[in-house]
Copies of this chain bind each other. A is one copy, B any other.
Amino acid sequence: MNIAIITSGGDAPGMNAAIRAVVRSASGQGFKTLGVEKGFLGLIENLFKLLTPRDVSGIINTGGSILKSSRCDLFKTPEGLEKASENLKSRRVDWVITMGGDGSMRGALSLSEVSGIPVTVIASSIDNDIAGIDETIGFDSAVNTAVQAIDKIRDTAVTYDRVFIVEVMGRNRGFLALEVALASGAEFAVIPEHPITVEEIAKRIKQMGEIGKRSSIIVKAEGAIGDPFQMASKLRELTGYDLRVTVLGYIQRGGVPTARSRNLACLFGKRAVELAAERKKNRIVGLKDGQVVDLNIREVCESIKKIDDEKYELVSILAI
């Protein structure tokens, strides 16, 4: 069996650990793995290379993807998919394993339809917003990176009695922000799923000031409220406090993966190869209720993941 492996989505720490797991699990089963470079673009541009167990040595603890990735609009066109399909067939690829989140699932599904070659998606995303899946590869790493940054920022917040708005990633969802807010002991988690006005935040900042708490951290999801600098201006006006903004940005996507991100990558990679061996097609692999599961990609694409409301409330309960 020939497996093609692609890292197609936004990068997430642990992708390389998953590539290693796929290549070595496949080798253990007697399968051959072809790495596709530059994501879906590489399918179109015919960028394949054989990956042996030795080729994935020393990458378990590295960020980024050794296969590189790219945004590829061409892949959304019938011509792009047709070309990708041709290339896969000329390489005699029997199965495609791709890593990513939402966009990767949809791309993989289209590819499978056009080419007839089954796909498996390994859930990898720092946004952790895939329905039916509790945790994706890279999420734990991004949470820790953001939390470590906020630990530093809090030193300044406390020293100067300042309020900081820290914007974290997460696309249009608040999973990353919520997890970061709880772990950093933030006073506010501002996320799209729980709309709050700047006025309400201002009110609570002033209340906290009255009981002697003069510094605070607002963890804001990039998808919530809008521009953090405008939000800061308004809060400054409403509260009279010294407001500062830090947009964490791309540091959340890279870096040495945490142990947990690596271990999920090992487990997911192994399962993805098992699905190929079992000819169980068009599944996405992720963690659910503490177990590695595989779900029907189409169903996952059509569902929306719910935020944990109790966890959201816990941020406020613990920020007194």
Contact = CB atoms under 8 A, between A and B. Distances in A.
Interface string A45-67: 00000000110001011111100
A289 to B, nearest CB: 4
Contacts of A183: 60, 259-260, 262-263, 266
Interface in A1-42: 7, 11, 13, 17, 20-21, 24-25, 27-28
Interface SS of chain A: helix
Given A143-B259, A152-B63, A247 B250 contact: no
A4 to B, nearest CB: 18
B317 A25 contact: yes
A118 interface: no
B244 A247 contact: no
Interface string A138-177: 0010011101010111111011110010000000000000
Task: Place the interface of chain A in its size category.
Answer: 35 or more
Contacts of A251: 149, 152-153, 246
B182 A262 contact: yes
Interface in A217-261: 244-247, 249-256, 258-260
Contact of A249 (B155, B180, B246): B246
Contact of A259 (B64, B147, B290): B147
Nearest to A65: B159
Contacts of A143: 259-260
Contact of A182 (B158, B160, B250, B263): B263
A254 B153 contact: yes
A180 B259 contact: yes
Contacts of A151: 61, 254-256
Contacts of A159: 7, 11, 64-65, 68-69
A318 B268 CA distance: 12
